Amino acid sequence: MSDPNGNKQKEAPEHADHGSGGHGDQGHDAAAGIIPESSWQDKLLILGAVLSLAALMYFGVNWAIAPLEVNQHGSM
C-alpha cells in the first residue's frame, strides 16, 4: 500500500483534520468501540435528527405515491 516512488503523500495535511473531539472527552481516553455518554444537548439534537428522518420519509413517500400528474409549468 505504499507509494512506489517513496514520496511522502504530498497532499497529506501537516495537521490532520480531527475536529476537537480527538483532544476532548471522546478522544484518546475513550475505550475502543464504546460510544460515549450524551449530554442534554446531544439528546435534543439526536431527537431532532430522528424527527427530521420521520419528516423526510413522510414527505418523500407522499411524493412517491402521489397521483402522477405532470407539473403544468415545467422549468422556465
Per CB under 8 A, does 6 bind another protein?
no
Q: Left if phi > 0, otherwise alpha if psi is -120 to 50, otherwise beta: which for 14?
A: alpha
Phi/psi of residue 53, nearest 5 degrees? -65, -45
Could you tell me the smallest distance in angstroms from the CB atom of residue 4 to another protein? 4
Could you tell me the smallest distance in angstroms from the CB atom of residue 67 to another protein? 9
CA–CA dist 48, 55 (Å, integer):
10
Which residues are at the interface with another protein (CB under 8 A)? 1-5, 7, 9-28, 30-36, 38, 41-42, 45-46, 48-50, 52-53, 55-57, 59-60, 62-64, 66, 68-76
